[in-house]
Amino acid sequence: MALQYSPAKSSKVSKRPSTKSPVKKFQKDVRKILLPSTKIYKDAVSKQKSQSSTTQDDSKLTIKDYNVRLDYQQYSGKDIMVAIDTILDNKWAENTNLHNRYPTKQGTLEERIFGLRGLSNTVKTDILKFRRNLPMDLVTTTQLYSIFLNESNTFVDKSLESHILSGELKKIVISNAAPVISRSVNKFQSGKVTYGFENVELVVKADSYFSVISSMRDVLEQELQNNQLPGVLQNKKKSLISSLDRLSRYLKEYPTALYISNCVDNGGFTDEEITHLVNTGFVTLASNHLIEIEANIYSISYPGCGTYLKLVNSGRSWLVKVLGKNKHKELLEDQIISKWEGVNASGESKMNNFRSPFFGYDLNWVLADALGAGVVEVFNTPVGRGWRLTGKI
């Protein structure tokens, strides 16, 4: 008879007693105790959330009329040059005449930024760094369209054409740079940004454009004064100066020019000149289409304009996402401002708009860009201006 083995009782895995450690029980009970300050904060947050949830989605805004007068329109009249100055002079939230939400003493950029309350020195340093690297003289045609909302876009286009022909303005076309923001109900696709369908038109004063060329040329001339500079590097800098001079002469002779190439009709630039101008940011590929790439057609550009476009496109994407979260795809302007700045439990601004990616960019020009592009519409309600998404993406 075979022997059968059975485990001993001592080999059984015994469970720990169900009684909990008194120390852990005490720690858990302590966590449930709310200090008076914590209770006040939590009550305020829950009250704020309940108020926002009832005002955001329940009722559709009542449209009073579409005869809207925007704050920045009163400064411009019908002069396109004044309109451009209005945008440039009121670009930053702490230094605008359109509102006084961030009162600061007038002074240099550094004095204004470090005079702001509620921001750490690290954030203020980031703001200064960003703005110093940002082209300051660019505006978009969509922003100009919104300023002349009561006129047609044709009025703006003709005014621009007239000032370009007279040599006062320069237009720059960046191919396939307008964002397409997905409004899919799928949470993984909603707000997704793609590019490649629509161009962006930028406008700059001609004096400012040629000033950038002159400044770069002066730096190169100064560097050539160094007698210890290797001969190869000297020749390269001289060639770059020659390329800048060539571009400057060409644009002054043909103020409406948007492109350059090896072709005589587009300036007949050499490959070396085009390479220099691409490296300095004054020209870029005209398109990502193979035919135009093979034809060596290049768009006239502006050094650093990609940073500016990223700022404008980030603003439009943010606005579409915020309005898209609302049941009726609309919000009062005051609600948009609150979301733009961020509001804490006591109702004070968190100044989120002074952090990346906006660094104090004024909300007016985010709204203006989207309005001029036809992405949103604006209307009057009994309690203020309302903004709503249109069907355009």
DSSP letter string over 101-150? SS---SS-HHHHHHT-SS--HHHHHHHHHHHHTS-SS-EEHHHHHHHTTT
C-alpha span between 197 and 176 (Å, rounded): 5
Last residue of a domain, one of 255, 285, 303: 303
Rounded to two decimals, the pTM is: 0.80
Domain co-membership, 281 together with 347:
no
Answer yes or no: is 129 within a domain. Answer: yes
Domain co-membership, 344 together with 273:
no
Mean pLDDT, range 8-25, rounded to an integer: 57
Domain co-membership, 336 together with 372:
yes
Token output for 245? 């001079």
Q: How many CB atoms lie within 10 A of CB 39?
A: 10
pLDDT of residue 290: 47
Domain co-membership, 319 together with 343:
yes
Answer yes or no: is 107 within a domain. Answer: yes
pLDDT of residue 44: 62
Last residue of a domain, one of 240, 273, 303: 303
Domain co-membership, 313 together with 297:
no
C-alpha span between 259 and 261 (Å, rounded): 7
pLDDT-based confidence at 331, cuts 50/70/90? very high
Which residues make Cβ contacts (< 8 Å) with residue 5, sequence separation at least 6? none
Which residues make Cβ contacts (< 8 Å) with residue 76, sequence separation at least 6? 82, 83, 86, 147, 148
Instruction: For residue 194, report the phi and psi dihedrals to the nearest 5 degrees.
Output: -130, 165
Answer yes or no: is 43 within a domain. Answer: no
Look at 125 and 102; give whichever has higher pLDDT: 125
Among the listed residues 93, 68, 51, the one whose alpha carbon sits nearest the alpha carbon of residue 386: 68
Answer yes or no: is 314 within a domain. Answer: yes
Last residue of a domain, one of 286, 303, 320: 303
Domain co-membership, 343 together with 259:
no
Q: What is the pLDDT of residues 44-90, one digit of tens each?
A: 656 555 554 444 456 899 999 999 999 888 766 789 999 999 999 99
User: Which sign does the torsion angle of CA 79, 85, 91, 94 carry?
Assistant: negative
Does residue 191 have a pLDDT over 60?
A: no
Q: Which helix (H) or strand (E) holds 86?
A: helix 80-89
Q: The tokens 């006129």 sit on which residue?
A: 151
Domain co-membership, 238 together with 297:
yes
Cis omega (within 30 of 0) for bond into 357: yes
Domain co-membership, 295 together with 329:
no
Task: Give me the DSSP letters along 297-358.
Answer: -EEE--TTHHHHHHHHHHHHHHHHHHHHTSTTSEEEHHHHHHHHH-B-TTS-B--GGGSTTT
Domain co-membership, 213 together with 259:
yes
Look at 32 and 354; give whichever has higher pLDDT: 354
Domain co-membership, 314 together with 293:
no
Mean pLDDT, range 163-168, rounded to an integer: 97
Answer yes or no: is 263 within a domain. Answer: yes
Distance of CA 331 to the CA centre of its chain: 20
Find the domain containing 317 and state its range: 71-136+309-389
Look at 90 and 391; give whichever has higher pLDDT: 90
Could you give the 3-state DSSP secondary structure of residue 373? coil
Domain co-membership, 208 together with 299:
yes
pLDDT of residue 124: 97
Question: Which of 34-48, 230-244, 279-293, 336-350 has the weakest average pLDDT?
Answer: 34-48
Domain co-membership, 318 together with 381:
yes
C-alpha span between 362 and 195 (Å, rounded): 24
Answer yes or no: is 179 within a domain. Answer: no
Mean pLDDT, range 378-390, rounded to an integer: 96
C-alpha span between 149 and 362 (Å, rounded): 19
Answer yes or no: is 277 within a domain. Answer: yes
How many CA atoms lie less than 13 Å away from 23 in the CB half-sphere? 0
pLDDT of residue 6: 54
Number of domains making up the chain: 2
Three-state SS letters, 169-226: EEEEEECCCCCEECCCCCCCCCCCEECCCCCEEEEEEHHHHHHHHHHHHHHHHHHCCC
Answer yes or no: is 299 within a domain. Answer: yes
